[in-house]
Each structure stands twice: as structure tokens, then as C-alpha cells.
Amino acid sequence: MMRYVAKKLAGLAATVLVVSFLVFAAFAVIPGDPATSMLGTQATPEKVEALREEMGLNDPLPKRFARWAVEFIQGDFGTSYSYQMPVSSMVGEKIPVTLALTLLAFLMMVAMSIPVGIFCARHAGGFLDRAITVLNQVIMAIPPFFSGILITLLFGLILHWFTPGGYISYTQDVWRFLGYMVFPAFAIALPKAAMAVKLLRSSVLSEMKLDYVRTAYSRGNRTKSVLYRHVLKNALIPVVTFLGMALADMVAGSIIIEQVFNIPGLGRILLTSISNRDYPVVQAIIVCIAFLVIFVNFAVDLIYKLVDPRITLD
């Protein structure tokens, strides 16, 4: 186990290093820099040059990267160019927003997909199963940003269940914040839930054909107990893999959905910081996301072990 954790941590460090260097390199290639961005239409070559010098942008790329990396390891994430605020507090303030959105979406996905998936498998070939299968195909084909617009239209403008664009900060009112988040989370969860239903259904059905199931039946078990005690555990393994990937994917998905629902989370900060060439902020967010993805992978591995004790981590 210790070796496993050490391996994961080494992987994390390597990933963060590579990813953050790539971000640095990408910014060096694309046109524009924070100095021109800050000066806007007031920019003159002299002013840009003076500001570049002041911000240390005239140093060679490896030097700038090394300076950033050293400070980062020391826990100093730097100061945002556009906001003159410490990056740590700026990003720290937004992490709960994106995390809440992602986790809410994940919970909704699990809550929707597992019961429906099992139901479909039990009633395979039935009318409801076929109807759900068709519906699933449709839902899978709709990207979240579009379902987001439809959800805004239906629940926001027609049913008035929420105020479109009326985001309320979690610092102001946690319940109303979560209340608003339900709708974007639903938009993210829908297509993933549809995929999970499809996966779980086929996974359960293929397990049902295996010998141990016949044995279980022959011992006199009823369908229900065979399904929940034996089949589901085995059928869940591919689903857990999928859920893990889906969770990581949802972080990325939330960046787009934040635009649709006007939520000021990590995604919004990331996008504006990229267009402002605000490197310290972009770096910090990228590192956060990389960390999150690796952490999710780690969690998935642990859940494997929980579901199937035969699996070893090393």
C-alpha cells in the first residue's frame, strides 16, 4: 500500500511538472502578454516595455518557469496580474463552487443511473426498458451546454423554479447556492447518467449469463437476491471505472456549463485568465485540475478494492 501511494504521488508530481511547463510554453508561443493586456488601448511601446520589465517578463522562459516552480513549491502561488490579489485566495474562493457543482452532478448521476440501470436489466426487453433505451440514446446525443440552455428555458423561464443567471454565492446563502447549482449539475449529469445506465444494464445482463448465476439459482435463490448479492457486485466493476472517468470529465464539463449558467467558478476564472495572459492564475487552476484528476483515479482504485477484494493495488 505504501509503495502504491508513493507511486501515485510521484506520478502526481511528474504530471504537474509537465503540465505546468506546457502551459508556460504555450503562453510563450501565443501572441499577447500580460503587459499589453493590462495597458489595453493606452499601450505605447515604452509603457509596455517598462511594465514587462517590472513584471519580470523579459527573463528567458526557463528562468521564469524555475522562479514560478520554486515559489509554488514553497506554497506561494503568486499574485494575479489582473486582480492584484493573491492567487491562492482567488482560486481558493472559487474551488468550492466548481467542486460543489461537480459533486452534485456526480451524486445525481449515481442516483439516477444505478436504479434505472438495474431496473432496465431486470426488465430487459420490456416496454419500459425499450423506451428508456431510446430515451438514453437521445440524452447521450445532447451535449451538456445545449441541455443547459433547454433546462434554463424550461425550469427557469417557463416554470420559474430558479432565476436564470441569478447565481447566489455560497458565502451568502449555502442553500440557495445549492438550489441554483442543481440545474447546471443536472445538465452535466444527464448524458453521463445515460451512459452509465447503458453500461450497467449490459454489464448486469452479461453477468446474468455466467455459470455462477445458474448455480445461485439452482441453490434456490430468488431473482432479487441473486441480482443484488452476486451479480451487482461483479457488474459494478466496469461501472465504477466509468464513474471515475466521468467524475474527472465533469470537472472539465463544468467549465462549459459555468458559462451557460453564469456561474463564477474555476472555469470562468480560467477562461478570462487565459485571455488576459494571467499566468499565475492559469497555472494554479491547471495544477488544481491535474491534482483532482489524479486524486479521482486514486479513489477509483480504492473503490475497486472495496468492491472486489481480489484486486491488489501494487
Nearer to another protein among residue 12 and residue 247 (C-beta): 247
21 binds another protein (CB under 8 A): no
Place of cell 511528474: 14
At residue 137, φ and ψ (nearest 5 deg) are -60, -45
CA separation for the pair 266, 200 (Å, rounded): 32
Cα dihedral sign for 126, 127, 133, 139? Answer: negative
Of residues 239, 212, 236, the one with CA closest to residue 226: 212
Of residues 274, 270, 301, the one with CA closest to residue 285: 270
282 binds another protein (CB under 8 A): no
Per the rule left: phi > 0, alpha: psi between -120 and 50, beta: everything else, 165 is left
**83, 119, 217, 295: residue in contact with another protein (rule CB under 8 A):** 83
- Cα Rg for the chain, rounded, in angstroms? 24
CA separation for the pair 137, 133 (Å, rounded): 6
User: Could you count the other beta carbons within 10 Å of the beta carbon of residue 243?
Assistant: 23
98 binds another protein (CB under 8 A): no
94 binds another protein (CB under 8 A): yes
84 binds another protein (CB under 8 A): yes
57 binds another protein (CB under 8 A): no
Nearer to another protein among residue 31 and residue 75 (C-beta): 31
Residues linked to residue 86 through DSSP beta bridges, in sequence order: 79
Cα dihedral sign for 182, 184, 188, 193? Answer: positive
Cα dihedral sign for 40, 46, 50, 55? Answer: positive
Nearer to another protein among residue 41 and residue 74 (C-beta): 41
154 binds another protein (CB under 8 A): no
**29, 30, 73, 138: residue in contact with another protein (rule CB under 8 A):** 30
Q: Taking CB under 8 A as the criterion, which residues in 170-229 touch another protein?
A: 173, 175-176, 178-180, 182-183, 224-225, 228-229
Q: Taking CB under 8 A as the criterion, which residues in 229-248 touch another protein?
A: 229, 232
Place of cell 445549492: 178
Nearer to another protein among residue 12 and residue 77 (C-beta): 77
**CB of residue 175 to another protein, shortest distance in Å:** 5
**16, 23, 108, 289: residue in contact with another protein (rule CB under 8 A):** 108
**CB of residue 260 to another protein, shortest distance in Å:** 7
Q: What's the length of the chain? A: 314
312 binds another protein (CB under 8 A): no
Nearer to another protein among residue 70 and residue 157 (C-beta): 157
Q: How far is CA 260 from the centre of its chain?
A: 16
**CB of residue 160 to another protein, shortest distance in Å:** 8
**CB of residue 58 to another protein, shortest distance in Å:** 14
272 binds another protein (CB under 8 A): yes
**CB of residue 108 to another protein, shortest distance in Å:** 6
**CB of residue 68 to another protein, shortest distance in Å:** 20
**20, 102, 152, 254: residue in contact with another protein (rule CB under 8 A):** 152
Question: With contact defined as beta carbons under 8 Å apart, do 88 and 284 qualify?
Answer: yes
Nearer to another protein among residue 3 and residue 224 (C-beta): 224
